[in-house]
């Protein structure tokens, strides 16, 4: 018997965002004994901050189809996407959206009573199903109600700090309740990581406090392969002022609904960068354009550019963008129906993550699955707006179902190694025994300084190498970080644990960026400013090998000709431009 309280499950899901909840529903429907553990309270995951909409080729307004969605996503991802995932995503999104409606989500409507869809960057047609600018919140509520009504076990405010293995395959997870500090072992046949992103490694970010790269680190130490970690999306439009909200998301829907970007000379500068798509170009391009305008002295007072929607009727703005209206009024004393906003790039999303099987979302570690932002593949080198919300429900469902099947195939529960748990628990306690004058928040600040300096929109060999050496010394300092108080709801302790996740992930991102010697999508290397055909055929893979970080490249499987036909013309045009 274990000395810790132990719960047994077929499927354990870590994370209660859209992907985690959708996976739980699918696993439970298959009869698996299912539980969700989440760091936050139920219904507060980062998905609630998603604003613009869910991309799905429903064709409510335009003659949309999955092929066009596929083509747009591949173009946005600059052709290094896992094409099979992109295909599945384009085909299955509409059904998953309809499901949400049947579970109670109430989306905005067209005149004839269908789900209304809006324009977004990189999408040919009006494709994003939405509710004003709070679509993620609506998705979470619908899924949350469904999960609760199905009687799925939920462990709230519970932090997983370690994944357990049994001879190389997953055996469960270990962690503690935040309110009491009580340790619990989950012995589970399969584990699904749905832990979201890593934005908190940067200072200027749209991400919530929980996005501390937990899943990347958990997967890495469980031996799973990570892929495409160099591709980090900087959203072009975050608030730049006041300081307290710097980085806060200004939804792309502002541009989708007619917002215009101008510099301090009043020029619509996107004409220079992408005269065809203008404001609705892909996010990587718009972010770099804004960055260039500001660097070349055409920025605003607070170091951004203007985003203006005040030419639209006030009632229209308030109906379509109610959160944005409130956000600027409350935080910046600015009425967006009358004045332009000031915006600039902000760390938003990781395209890379755990390398997964496109059908089942299983990682290279047996029994460990990954979904949503933490899974790599769908978005390639740059994600299109709206594709993340549909990603959650399409692959959440697939993984939940596959994990339940995987568990069914196992005769008995995997074996838990008590020694492994004891060692890990000693580490959790170690922070309270150290004596130094370095609190965890200071390490966090230094980490953010390093990342903002050299792992932002623009990177190069010199900067990345400096980052790697700085991270090494910061990791030494981290070992001596000290804590006050006890295990009960101790914010400092939670940061200290998260710092392990963030430090290793920062290193992974930097190492992967150094490896890819070209510029593609969200990765811009000053020393290799063009995309190289050779790099278009491979992905950077990172893995923990006996305590060392191994970095390699693997070839991308060739696409079948029927899919190739959909993207051929655009791809050639884009490649020619690179020469």
Partner 1 sequence: MAEQTKVKFLVFRGTEEDNTLKEYTIDFVEGMVVLDAMLEIQAKYASDLGIRCNCKAAKCGSCTAEVNGMPRLMCKTRLSSLPVDKPIVIRPLKAFPLIKDLVSDISWNYEVNRKITPFTPKEDCDWRIYQDDVDRVQEFRKCIECFLCQSTCHVLRTHDKKDSYFGPRFLVRLAGLIMHPLDSIDRTEHVKEQAGIEYCNITGCCSEVCPEKIKITDNAIIPLKERTVSRYYDPLISIFRYFFRKKK
The catalytic residues are 235, 255
**43 touching partner 1, by CB under 8 A:** yes
Distance CA 371, CA 216 (A): 12
| Smallest separation, CB 185 to partner 1 (Å) | 22
Distance CA 218, CA 203 (A): 22
**339 touching partner 1, by CB under 8 A:** no
**484 touching partner 1, by CB under 8 A:** yes
| Smallest separation, CB 492 to partner 1 (Å) | 3
Distance CA 403, CA 399 (A): 6
Q: Please, which residue, 72 or 117, has the CB nearer to partner 1?
A: 117
Q: Per-residue x/- mask for partner 1, residues 266 to 305, rule CB under 8 A?
A: ----------------------------------------
- Rg over CA atoms, the chain: 23
184: Cβ contacts below 8 Å, ≥ 6 apart: 4, 5, 6, 7, 155, 158, 174, 175, 176, 177
**348 touching partner 1, by CB under 8 A:** no
Q: Please, which residue, 97 or 407, has the CB nearer to partner 1?
A: 97
342: three-class secondary structure by DSSP: strand
Q: Per-residue x/- mask for partner 1, residues 211 to 250, rule CB under 8 A?
A: ------------------------------xxxxx--xx-
**208 touching partner 1, by CB under 8 A:** yes
> Which neighbouring-strand residues pair with 317?
none
Distance CA 20, CA 153 (A): 13
**168 touching partner 1, by CB under 8 A:** no
Burial of 311 (0-12, 13-18, 19+ CB in 10 A): exposed
The residue within the footprint of partner 1, chosen from 310, 331, 410, 413 (CB under 8 A), is: 331
Interface residues for partner 1 in 88-127 (CB under 8 A)?
A: 98, 101-104, 106, 108-109, 111-114
The continuous run of DSSP H or E covering 494 comes out as: helix 491-515
| Smallest separation, CB 341 to partner 1 (Å) | 14
Could you tell me which of 339, 268, 266, 344 has the C-alpha nearest to residue 302?
Answer: 344
> Which neighbouring-strand residues pair with 520?
523
The residue within the footprint of partner 1, chosen from 413, 490, 515, 549 (CB under 8 A), is: 490
**40 touching partner 1, by CB under 8 A:** yes
The residue within the footprint of partner 1, chosen from 28, 33, 46, 227 (CB under 8 A), is: 46
Distance CA 352, CA 48 (A): 21
The two tokens of residue 567 are 């993207």
**326 touching partner 1, by CB under 8 A:** yes
Residue 197, by phi and psi: left (phi above 0), alpha (psi -120 to 50) or beta?
A: beta
The two tokens of residue 575 are 């490649």
Q: Where are any strands of DSSP class E within 56-210?
A: 117-118, 128-129, 153-155, 158-166, 169-177, 183-193
The residue within the footprint of partner 1, chosen from 28, 30, 33, 44 (CB under 8 A), is: 44
The two tokens of residue 561 are 């000709």
Buried b (16+ CB within 10 A) or exposed e, 403-430: bbebbeeeeebbebeeeebeeebeebee
| Smallest separation, CB 206 to partner 1 (Å) | 8
**59 touching partner 1, by CB under 8 A:** no
Q: At what angle do helices 387-408 and 18-29 cross, to 10 degrees?
A: 30
| Smallest separation, CB 208 to partner 1 (Å) | 4
The residue within the footprint of partner 1, chosen from 418, 486, 552, 557 (CB under 8 A), is: 486
Q: Please, which residue, 427 or 491, has the CB nearer to partner 1?
A: 491
Number of amino acids touching partner 1 (CB under 8 A): 64
**572 touching partner 1, by CB under 8 A:** no
Distances (CA, A) of 496 to 295, 473, 503: 35, 16, 11
Q: Per-residue x/- mask for partner 1, residues 374 to 413, rule CB under 8 A?
A: ----------------------------------------
Find the part of the chain contacting partner 1 (CB under 8 A) among 85-93, 277-285, 387-395, 479-487.
479-487
Q: At what angle do helices 387-408 and 83-102 cross, to 10 degrees?
A: 90
Q: Please, which residue, 134 or 516, has the CB nearer to partner 1?
A: 134
Q: Please, which residue, 101 or 296, has the CB nearer to partner 1?
A: 101
The residue within the footprint of partner 1, chosen from 14, 25, 27, 49 (CB under 8 A), is: 49
Q: Please, which residue, 491 or 564, has the CB nearer to partner 1?
A: 491
Distance CA 531, CA 135 (A): 34
The continuous run of DSSP H or E covering 35 comes out as: strand 34-37
| Smallest separation, CB 178 to partner 1 (Å) | 9
Find the part of the chain contacting partner 1 (CB under 8 A) among 185-193, 277-285, 325-333, 555-563.
325-333
162: three-class secondary structure by DSSP: strand
Q: Per-residue x/- mask for partner 1, residues 121 to 160, rule CB under 8 A?
A: ----------xx-x--xx--x---xx-xx------x----
The residues that touch partner 1, with contacts defined as CB under 8 A, are 40-46, 48-49, 98, 101-104, 106, 108-109, 111-114, 131-132, 134, 137-138, 141, 145-146, 148-149, 156, 179, 208-210, 241-245, 248-249, 323, 326-327, 330-332, 439-442, 445, 483-486, 488-493
């Amino acid at each position: 018997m274990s000395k810790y309280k132990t719960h047994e499950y077929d499927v354990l899901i870590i994370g209660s965002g859209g992907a985690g909840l959708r996976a739980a529903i699918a696993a439970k429907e298959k009869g698996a004994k299912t539980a969700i553990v989440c760091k936050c309270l139920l219904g507060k995951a980062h998905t609630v901050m998603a604003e613009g909409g869910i991309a799905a080729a429903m064709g409510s307004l335009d003659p949309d189809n999955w092929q066009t969605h596929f083509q747009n996503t591949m173009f946005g991802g600059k052709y290094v996407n896992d094409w099979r995932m992109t295909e599945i995503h384009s085909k299955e999104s509409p059904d998953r959206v309809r499901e949400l409606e049947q579970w109670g989500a109430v989306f905005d409507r067209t005149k004839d009573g269908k789900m209304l869809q809006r324009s977004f960057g990189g999408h040919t047609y009006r494709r994003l199903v939405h509710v004003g600018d709070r679509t993620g919140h609506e998705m979470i509520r619908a899924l949350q109600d469904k999960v609760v009504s199905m009687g799925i076990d939920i462990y709230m405010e519970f932090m997983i700090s370690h994944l357990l293995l049994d001879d190389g395959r997953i055996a469960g997870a270990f962690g503690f309740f935040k309110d009491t500090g009580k340790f619990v072992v989950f012995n589970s046949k399969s584990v699904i990581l749905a832990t979201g992103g890593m934005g908190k490694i940067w200072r200027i970010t749209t991400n919530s406090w929980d996005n501390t790269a937990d899943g990347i680190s958990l997967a890495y130490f469980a031996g799973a392969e990570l892929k495409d970690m160099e591709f980090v999306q900087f959203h072009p439009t975050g608030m730049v002022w006041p300081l307290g909200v710097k980085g806060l998301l200004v939804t792309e829907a502002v541009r989708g609904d007619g917002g215009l970007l101008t510099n301090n000379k009043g020029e619509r500068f996107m004409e220079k960068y992408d005269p065809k798509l203008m404001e609705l170009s892909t996010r990587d391009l718009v972010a770099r354009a804004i960055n260039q305008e500001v660097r070349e002295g055409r920025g605003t007072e607070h170091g951004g550019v203007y985003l203006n929607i005040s030419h639209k009727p006030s009632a229209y703005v308030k109906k379509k963008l109610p959160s944005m209206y409130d956000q600027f009024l409350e935080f910046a004393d600015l009425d967006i129906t009358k004045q332009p906003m000031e915006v600039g790039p902000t760390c938003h999303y990781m395209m890379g993550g755990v390398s997964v099987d496109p059908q089942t979302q299983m990682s290279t570690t047996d029994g460990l699955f990954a979904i949503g932002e933490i899974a790599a593949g769908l978005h390639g080198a740059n994600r299109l707006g709206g594709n993340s919300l549909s990603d959650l429900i399409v692959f959440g469902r697939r993984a939940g179902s596959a994990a339940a099947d995987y568990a069914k195939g196992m005769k008995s529960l995997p074996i838990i190694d008590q020694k492994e748990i004891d060692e890990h628990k000693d580490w959790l306690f170690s922070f309270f025994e150290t004596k130094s004058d370095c609190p965890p928040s200071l390490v966090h600040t230094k980490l953010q300084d390093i990342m903002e300096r050299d792992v932002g929109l623009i990177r190069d060999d010199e900067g990345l190498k400096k980052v790697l050496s700085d991270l090494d010394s910061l990791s030494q300092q981290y070992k001596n970080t000290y804590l006050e108080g006890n295990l009960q709801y101790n914010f400092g302790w939670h940061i200290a644990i998260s710092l392990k996740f963030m430090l290793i992930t920062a290193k992974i991102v930097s190492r992967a960026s150094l490896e890819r010697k070209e510029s593609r999508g969200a990765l811009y290397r000053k020393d290799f400013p063009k995309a190289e055909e050779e790099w278009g055929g491979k992905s950077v893979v990172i893995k923990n090998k006996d305590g060392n970080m191994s970095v390699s490249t693997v070839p991308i499987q060739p696409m079948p000709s029927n899919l190739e036909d959909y993207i051929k013309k655009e791809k050639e045009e884009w490649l020619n431009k690179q020469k």
